[in-house]
Structure 1
Amino acid sequence: MITACFNGKFVEPNELVVPIDERGHQFGDGVYEVIRIYDGKPFMIDEHLDRLYQSADAIKLRIDPDRGAFKNTMLELIQKSGLTNLDLYVQVTRGIAPRNHLFPDCPVSVSMTAKSFRSIPVGKKDSGASVILHPDERWAKCYIKSLNLLPNILAKQAAYEKGYLEAILVRDGIVTEGASSNVYIVKNSSIITTPISNHILSGITRMAVKNMAEYLEIPFIEDQFTPDEMFQADEIFITSTTLEITPITRVDDKQINNGKPGSVTKALQERFRQII
């Protein structure tokens, strides 16, 4: 079973392929994407590719302009993996060169890995999960899906150590997003989520939620909200490629509404199941 690819070469999962002088290893100088495949069919792969190329452009990293060839390599790895339900991780860095802060004159490095995905426990999808609020200590360009995730990791670990699923980040009194997710509140049967800006990652599942809301005729409002507005919400849910649509019933130690997933979240979950 082939589950990895490095610079166009398909390799075994235990094969050592990344040199010490690799820019992703030395500097975190690169970008990435995670694409979920359901029953052998990649979910919104073109939207993921769009975001990968946009992130690369934002850090002046040139990926193969032949997107068709790039995508074909991804599809070939999916096929070679022998898996039908998997997550495909794609990472592009500035390449292999002696350590120097300046951009090197060398080819970029592209690595891909395919692994069976692990969904969050069904109970959390059905009954809801808990999150904590955490200061948003990230840099000013969160719209780039870069390899520099240390603040996200620290926030996620803080949530885990307290027994929570996710950390919801707050910047200047405004909720931005989760450590690895987008966040939404529901009030008066309308979905409210933070507007696209440099301070959040434009999620692919977020895009799907917006489309599903339009299909279900649920108002989708892009507006800022505060932690207090979260506590007063009728419903809360978070989304990401790996979390899909997960209801949130507690924030810190406070129960949200009646402590159960609401009708809007359930309608989105059902529509999402139909789509995938």
Structure 2
Amino acid sequence: SDNEIKIELSDIIKGFLDEDARLVNEENKLSKLPCTPNIVTILGNFVKNWAMKQLIPGNEKPNRSQSTQPPVIDIDTIQRKLNLCKEVADGLRIYFDFSVWAMLLYGKEREQYKAITSTAASTHFNSNNEDPRIEGTNGETQEDKYHPDNESERNRRKSLRSHKVSSGYEHTNGTSNKPSAIMQNSGQHLPFDGSNNAGSSDSLTNSPRHRALINHIQSWKFVPLSLYDKNPAPPSLVYGAVHLARLFVKLPELLSRTNMPEEKLEVVLEYFDYFLDAPLSTS
């Protein structure tokens, strides 16, 4: 129907999912948990990298038809879009934590889920796992082997976003903890400089607000480190790329159950497209 929600997955992602299904169901090979990078890291890195591309657009190759003049950077617009990007990423995290048990696991993975989420995520970390409190960690899992951009992911492994949560199942800005409510209340964060009425007249690349926003993004945390000590561990801290890809298969069904306004849905789907395109980029 005209109202059907569609999320296009690339052939690479589809192949990624098909290979995962074969490994689990035919070869009894489950993902090594906790995954490196985990879903929190993947989503946080996406927001950070997306933001930096908006703030430093010179890395993009210009089309022949584009002007050679440097682009004007409108800090207010970037802040507004970045707030939306953060909310969509957080909505994905919460959708995953809500739906993984009911919708995203094969039968053979359920015992593993019970074991891995029965304690805090930090109890599973060692020198080969992704402890955000230790820089330069490494280690390869099934997720790494089949992720289309595993090398760049390994090079961008910092825990991001200072956003208070309780057990990975609640959101903090006074809204409902249902994922659909998270998506619909997007853009409610304060601007990073604490001002709502600053104009974009200082939108030059080297303006103080531009530098401050870059500094903010570089130090920004997607979730607080205390989340890693929550017991039981939020699934988004122990699962990785392939289970997140499974979520995108189910998202049209999940979103169709919400009463999200059409204009909000279009924005959310736009950011989903940004996210799904990101692993294919080598820049």
Q: TM-score range by the shorter chain?
A: under 0.3
Greater helix percent: which structure? 2
TM-score (norm 2): 0.23
- Using the size of structure 1 for normalisation, the TM-score is 0.24
Relative to its length, the structure with more strand (as a share) is 1
